[in-house]
Every structure is written in C-alpha cells, then in structure tokens.
Structure 1
C-alpha cells in the first residue's frame, strides 16, 4: 500500500475514534466525577501505551532518557493529562456533548494565536478573519442561538471548554521543544501525572469505579482517546506525502460525533449547534489555508 493511502487509512481510523469520545465522556460522567474518570482513563492509557511500546520494541527507551528529560516529563504531565483533561472533563460534566465538543475544536486556532508571541510566527489578516468566524460559532453554540442576548446556557461550562483549548494549545507549543520520542514522551507524561491525579482524587472525591457503563466508558477514553488515537495519528502524519490532505480529515470528526451523540446519548441536536459548528469548521478551514499554501510552495521548490 502506498504511503499516502496508508496515511489516509490511519487518519480515518483516528477520526473515527475521535468522533466517539464525546459520547464516551458523557457516559462516564453520568456516574463518575471528572477526576475519578480521569484516574481510570489515565491508568488505562498508561497500560495501552506500555503495550504499544513493547510491541514496537521501544520499551527500553523509557529508561534511557537523561535527568532533564524526566523532569520535563513531570512538568508536561502536570499539563497533560492532569490539567488539560481535568478542565476538559469539567466542561463535559456541565455542558451537553453537542456544545462542549465543538468548542474544544477551537484549540487549533488558539494554537495559531499563541504561536505569535511564543514561537515568533506572524499573525496574518486571514488568521484574524478565521478567528472572528470561529468565535462567532462559539457564541452561537454557547448561547443556543440567543446571540443578541448573550445569555450563556452554562457560563462556567463554557469557560472550562474555552480554557481547555488554551491549555491544549500551550501544551503543543511547549512540545515543539520536546526531543523525546512522541509515544515515549506521552507515556512518561502520564506516568508522572498519575500520582498527582491519584492524590487529588483521594483528597476530593474518593475512589469509585461507578457503574459498569461508566467504568467501561472511562477505560475506552483512556485506551482510545488518550492512547491508540495518538499513535494512529502519529503514523498518519509520518507516512503522509501530503499532510494537508490528512489534516483535512479532522473536519469530518465533529459532524460524525453528532451522529453518536444523537443516537447513543439521545441528545436532541439543536439548530444552533449545526450553525455554530459549521462556522467553527469554516474558520478552522480558512486558517489552514496557510498550511496548504506552505506545502504547495515546498512542493513547487522540490
């Protein structure tokens, strides 16, 4: 199979997994507090990533890093999984899945904005226009269509969803200076983050496995959203001859996610969700024009 076809296959598999996680979040959070869900998911993710590293013959790399890299693992673990997923699960705990999920997708735009002061990239007029379109969609979803009143359905839930995009974008900016193998690095982040999550869970909510459905959903999140999906997407980007074609697959995910939310969770999808989601995806697509133009230019130079 040619590399680009393999890349598209891995990309589509990742998108399918991403499309199911909003539903899994809500199923787990029916009986678990966000930190309890995070603890179960984190343990599951560590287990599956350990297996992946062993199957790939890279397990020994876990023990071959220097002291600075292990300290880095602890610092990055405090951001992901600790802070990011605690904030994200808090948003899903308060908002319907059809609202929390599209808001979280704006992290890619936040990343472009934060790259200006922290990575020295230029902010173009196109980025500003894309931001206006995206955040118009955010307001439409957060107000459930009552845009003129600016009456948010759950202000704290919306704030947590937006905050999760800031945390996630910040994590990826820090990760640009990470020289560790990606899967090894993520595994160690979770290993070092686990004691912190365990302590917080014990101190605040106590240990609970919830119902069978909630426990299973939390394991699913850890195995697939936090583990397998990351590895599949890494393969997709590594094998891609045209990364923009693979990256464009992410635009399928939020719409496919609404199908699972409707049929499994039983949420009645509001018209405002469709309108807001289309605006968010349109803004993100516009922002990606820069990436596509850069790739086209590199291809022409070659």
Structure 2
C-alpha cells in the first residue's frame, strides 16, 4: 500500500473506535458513574501512550507552555469527558453522535471570533440549516424544552471546539502526537480527583464492564487518537481525513442497533440528516474541491513555475516599491532561466498543484551539515486564503525532517509585518536582521527548529 493512501486505514480505524465509544459508554454507565468512567478510560489510555514514548521522538517541554497544556487537558479531556459521559448517559448513541458531529462547525465559528478567520455567507446559511436540525431533535416529542442530556452534549461539543483552537497553538511547537499525549496526560491527572469514588465503584462490577472499559481506554482513546494523528500525517489533503467524520453518526447508529438494540427516534433521523446536510454545506469547498498535491518539478515545468512566482511576488513588489532596477533578485522578476540555474545546482524545486494547475511553488536549498533554506514560497493571489501557504510550510518541514535537516531558515522583508506574523504563527522564530548594500530593504531571518523531529536511522 502506498504511504499516501494508508490514511484511509488510519481514518477508518479511528472512526470505528470513536463510534464504539458512544455505544459502549451507555452500557458501562449502567454500573459506573460518568466520572469514574472518564477517569478509568483515560488512565488506561495514558498507560498505553506511556508505553509508546520510547518509540517516539519527543521535544523537551518548555515551562512556559505548561499553562496551555493544562488548558488543553481541561477542555479536551477533563471537562469534556464529564460533559460527554453525562450527556451520553441520558441520550441515545445516535443522537449523541449527531450533536458531537457539529464540533468542526463550532470550531470554525469560534475561530471567527478568536482568530478573526473568515466565515462565508454560505457557511452562515449552513450554520442555520444545522441549527434547524438541532431544533428538530430537541423540540419534536419534547416540546419547547431541552433535555438535561442534550445540554451536557452541547457543552461537550463547545469544550471540544475550544480544545481544537487551543491545540492550534500547541502544535506550532510540538508534534501533533506529542501535543495530544501531553493534553491527555494533563486531563487524566485532573480526572484523578475522582479516584476515591472510582475505587468504591469498581468493587463488584461485572467482568463484561471491565472488558468494555478496557476497550474504550485502549481503542476508543489511545489507539483512536494516535491513528487519527497518523492519518493527518500521511495524507496529502487535510479534508481527505476530516471527511470521515461524517461517517460517525451513521456508524454509531448501526452499532447502537447491533450492540445495544437502540432504535433512533424519527426526530433524531430527520434532525440528524438536516444537521449533516448543513455540515456538508459548511465544508463543501473542502469536500468538493480539487485535490492539492506537491511534486518535485523539472525542466518542463520551469516556465510555469516562474510565472507562478512572478504573480505571487508581484503583490510584495508593489507594496514595497521594488523594481527590476533596485531589486532584480526579487521573485517578482524571476525567469525560467533563473530556476534552471538552481535546478542544475541540484536544488529541490517543488510545484503546488490544484488538480492539474500549478498554483504555488517553493524551493529547498540544502547547505553543509543539517541546515536548509526555504526560498521563493509562492501562492498565486487568486488562491490565497485557502491555507495553501500552511500546506507548503508543512510539506517543506516534513521533507526536510525526512532528509535529517535540523533547521530551516527563511529571509523576508523586515517591514513586512503581516508575513512575519504568519511565519511566527507557523512555528518560525526570529533570529536576526541584516542590511545588504544591494537590497533596498532590511532582511529579517526566521528559523524553524526540526531537531526534535529528526528520527534516528
């Protein structure tokens, strides 16, 4: 199996494990409280993850990040687990999975207010559609009241969305798997406040419940999160993995019927379909967009690549009054012959393709030792705002790490504050600035440390 296709297996494993959690939680809580289940589930998960530590290359945790780690542990595992279990205990598995499926949408909405990320008109309409589905589930057969279980599930969804936002900051410095592990460990420590209660409750529980708790701790928690992280790591497109989330409500409903003999109410089926329709509409640009891929280019693509670079850098040239006379080396004036020289030197040139069209470019220049320079990072203006720039930085990081490069450097115009903040947001740190006689601006150098990502051969 090709590596880039293996994400399907990882994603499917994760979705099965998570769908099981909705069903098994209701069965386990016939003998255990929601608090005891939460603690046992993540105690087991933590023990499994601890066993994996020798197999991973982890970065030393900085003391200044402990507060953020505690927050992710609290929102994503401590408070979330309590709210999730209390909600699932009172609401059938199918309904629970539909409510939790709104997390990606809630995350995007929160990002609008926290990170000022853009929400399109279509996405606002999609939000209204999903809200209609929620209203159908909560009102039909219940009147104009929301059950206590649904309240807990809505809270769980909001907490998980908050966790997603906090994790965005954490993964800028640590790998996705390390960030998740640290959050789980922090959450487990907090859940330990229920240890005395758990000790009392586990006395005399049936062997069946013990087995189910082990399954949830090992598979629905530890393996699920590792597998999900691995899926994103090997996939070329984030949407290819996240789209599997839409399978969760359907799979949970089937597992609920088979394992727990739970039949969803008509309101759950109708409301669930409407909610999922809203979610699909909300993410339709990603769901139905052409596949983005990166490939190393050769002589045949140099002319196209030069055009992409010129289009991308033209905006910077205009903003800072750069011309062919005062800054001939700027990307706005790149020609195929310039790229040909780089190619003949053995430098790595990469094209970013949307379908068959090249919409971006970057170049990796390896130096003596374990250092590389990232050059000519470009995305055509018409495709900006779609996170292709982040896609480029992530791919460049992975390529460099695989080649045992320990740091990536990049130089930008010091006065370009927006670009500086963007690189910092993606893990780069300022090193120094320098003025060159042949350039009409001061160069700011930033660096990305990859030492902790480089694995031993």
The answer to whether structure 1 residue 185 and structure 2 residue 149 are counterparts is no
Q: Distance in 1 between matches of 2:175 and 2:200?
A: 33
Bigger-Rg structure (1/2)? 2
Cα deviation for residue 21 of structure 1 reads: 1.4
Counterpart of 1:263 (choices 255, 258, 266) is 258
1:113 counterpart residue number: 109
Equivalent of residue 237 in structure 2, options 237, 242, 254: 242
**Contact 1:35–1:201 at 8 Å: present in 2 too?**
no
Q: 1:293 to 1:271 in 2, by over 3 A?
A: closer
Deviation at 1:57, TM superposition (A): 3.4
Query: 1:101 and 1:293 mapped to 2: Cα distance?
Result: 24
| 1:285 positional shift | 0.8
Change (3 A) 1:194 1:13: closer
Deviates more, 1:236-245 or 1:160-169: 236-245
Answer yes or no: is 1:224 the counterpart of 2:219. yes
Higher RCO (Cα < 8 Å, 6 or more apart): 1
State yes or no: 1:40 paired with 2:32.
no
Q: Give per-residue Cα distances to partners, 1:76-121, cap 9 Å, x unaligned.
A: 2222211111111110122222222211111111111101011111
Instruction: Give TM-score scaled by structure 1 length.
Output: 0.88
1:163 and 2:155 correspond: yes
- How do 1:1-302 and structure 2 match up within 5 A? 1-54=1-54, 56-58=55-57, 61=58, 64-143=60-139, 145-146=140-141, 149-152=143-146, 155-178=147-170, 179-202=173-196, 207-209=200-202, 210-292=205-287, 299=354, 300=357, 301-302=359-360
**65-74 vs 112-121, greater mean Cα deviation:** 65-74
Unaligned runs of 5+ in 2: 293-352, 361-457
Number of aligned residue pairs: 293
SS of the residue corresponding to residue 158 of structure 1 reads: helix
Q: Distance in 1 between matches of 2:127 and 2:165?
A: 19
Shift of the alpha carbon at 1:193? 2.8
The question of whether the paired residues in 2 share the 8 Å contact of 1:140 and 1:146 is answered with no
CA 1:57–1:194: 2 relative to 1, 3 Å: closer
Distance across 2 between alignment mates of 1:192 and 1:296: 37
1:27·1:213 contact (CA, 8 Å) conserved in 2?
no
1:19 CA displacement: 2.1
**Per-residue displacement from partner, 1:250-299 (whole Å, max 9, x unpaired)?**
22221011111012111122222221111111111111123347765862
In the TM superposition, residue 45 of structure 1 has moved relative to its aligned partner by 0.7
1:186, distance to aligned residue in structure 2 (A): 2.3
CA contact (8 A) 1:3 1:241 kept: no
Unmatched tracts of structure 1, length 5 or more: none
**2:240 alignment partner, SS class:** helix
Structure 1 Cα separation of the partners of residues 64 and 72 of structure 2: 12
CA contact under 8 A between 1:38 and 1:218: conserved in structure 2?
no
1:224 Cα offset (Å): 1.9
Query: 1:23, CA displacement in angstroms?
Result: 0.9
The answer (yes or no) to whether the contact 1:36–1:207 under 8 Å persists in 2 is no
- Cα deviation for residue 26 of structure 1 reads 0.9
The 2-side partners of 1:207 and 1:194 are apart by 18
